[in-house]
Amino acid sequence: MINKLHPLAPVTGKVRRLASRLRQKLIRPEPRRPLTAETLDLFAPDFVTNPFPHYEELRRSGSVHFLPRHDCWLVLGYDDVLSALSQPQSFSSRVEEWMAVDSVLLGADPPEHTAVRRVVGHHFSAHALETQSAFAEEAAERLLRPLADGKTCDVLREFTAPLSEDVAAHLIGFDEAALAAIRATQDTAKDLGQWLAALDSIIAGAAERMPIYGQLLRDGEGRLGHAQVRSLIRFLWIAGTTTTRRAIASSVLMLLRHPSMRPVIESDPALLSAFIEESLRLHPPEHSILRVATAEVELSGVKIPAGALVKLCVGAANRDPARFAEPAALLLHRTPNRHLSFGGGIHRCVGAALARVEMAAALRVLLRLAPRFSAVQPLETLRFTGFVNDTEQLLIER
């Protein structure tokens, strides 16, 4: 028997430890359990990092699923998402979360929604878009000048966020004082409710200096009071900044991930629009559109009960293989490309054309000032979906 003082004891201990480590390596990890609607967690780190494989796996067992963890229904298939978006009488936009932001347009149903949308739509005319495009290009050039001079640029915080804010402020008519107050409030508000209240107060204080305020009151022909106009302006600001900055940032990330696309786009500017559409399809700024079922309704043979919260997942619908060939690939010659990133039906994003104009201006300036721009940090350290919660940092250099 070997005691603790025996000269072979240390050797024997090493052998045992090596054998133990070898056994651990040989032990196979338990296979991952198949994803089901019961186990899907929309807030799990692996889902947030890259939700697309989860969408695809769950869609193999059907387009419509009830998620017990979230007490809501998830719709994944393109045809079902489009069908629901086209049935406002069955899938209402009067969702509590959205009505807190704006109950006049975003959280409204026909016939009220129809009249208000017509009023707001006047501010996105062809002439208005032409003006905004020129302004966006000037703003982008000013913001990217440091990059052209050899400095690094934080894509989200130093480019896409201030660009989208400048363009939204130009559209709405916020002056420098109002814009500065809004930016300060965004940094200090403790929660969404406090921020919305502060934004409402700033809009009220700047109303006399904003031509759009009086125009909405007049064009509303009695349908819109001061509270409704402030709600609309608040929504135009939020929609024109939050989603647009994500869309532009994601398109920059796509150019970094697909550098071969740059010379192709530069040689044929018409392909810039195709690139933007593919970027929007692959990485929509919002992955789900919320609705509430007004009565029991059926999609793909699945009955959704009245009053149920429904998440129409455009992030999954845009990659549905039943609608898009090579759904995960970036194809500049994809025709048609009827993605749902801006929604569909009567609630299709009223500012979709402006978002496209702004994305095009931003990318044109970036490719002109720094055609060989590159990321400072390794791209594999970034989340695949890119900037879902606006918390990441993407540094680029010329």
Predicted local confidence at residue 226, as pLDDT: 95
For every residue of 234-283, DSSP letters joined together read HHHHHIIIIIHHHHHHHHHHHHHH-TTHHHHHHH-TTHHHHHHHHHHHHS
Average pLDDT over every residue of 235-261: 93
pLDDT at 315 over 50: yes
Least confident residue range of 145-149, 217-221, 304-308, 383-387: 383-387
β-pair type (64-67, 297-299): unpaired
Of 25, 35, 80, 34, the C-alpha closest to 340 is: 80
For the chain, give every domain's residue range: 36-173+210-397
Instruction: Give 338-355 as a 3 state SS string.
Output: CCCCCCCHHHCCCCHHHH
Predicted local confidence at residue 7, as pLDDT: 42
**In a 10 Å sphere around its CB, with 0-12 CB exposed, 13-18 middle and 19+ buried, how is residue 61 labelled?**
exposed
Report CA-CA distances (Å) from 260 to 264, 267, 320, 332, 381: 7, 12, 25, 12, 21
**In a 10 Å sphere around its CB, with 0-12 CB exposed, 13-18 middle and 19+ buried, how is residue 198 labelled?**
middle
pLDDT at 172 over 60: yes
d(CA 253, CA 392): 12
In one-letter notation, the amino acid at residue 293 is A
d(CA 338, CA 171): 27
* Residues 273/383, Cβ–Cβ less than 8 Å: no
Regarding pTM above 0.85, the answer is yes
d(CA 102, CA 104): 6
Kindly state the percentage of the chain with pLDDT values over 90.
Answer: 77
* Residues 104/116, Cβ–Cβ less than 8 Å: yes
CATH class in words for 36-173+210-397: mainly alpha
pLDDT at 5 over 80: no
Q: What number of other Cβ atoms are within 10 A of residue 263's Cβ?
A: 11
pLDDT tens track for 284-305? 999 999 999 999 999 999 999 9
Least confident residue range of 9-23, 200-214, 262-276, 359-373: 9-23
pLDDT at 309 over 60: yes
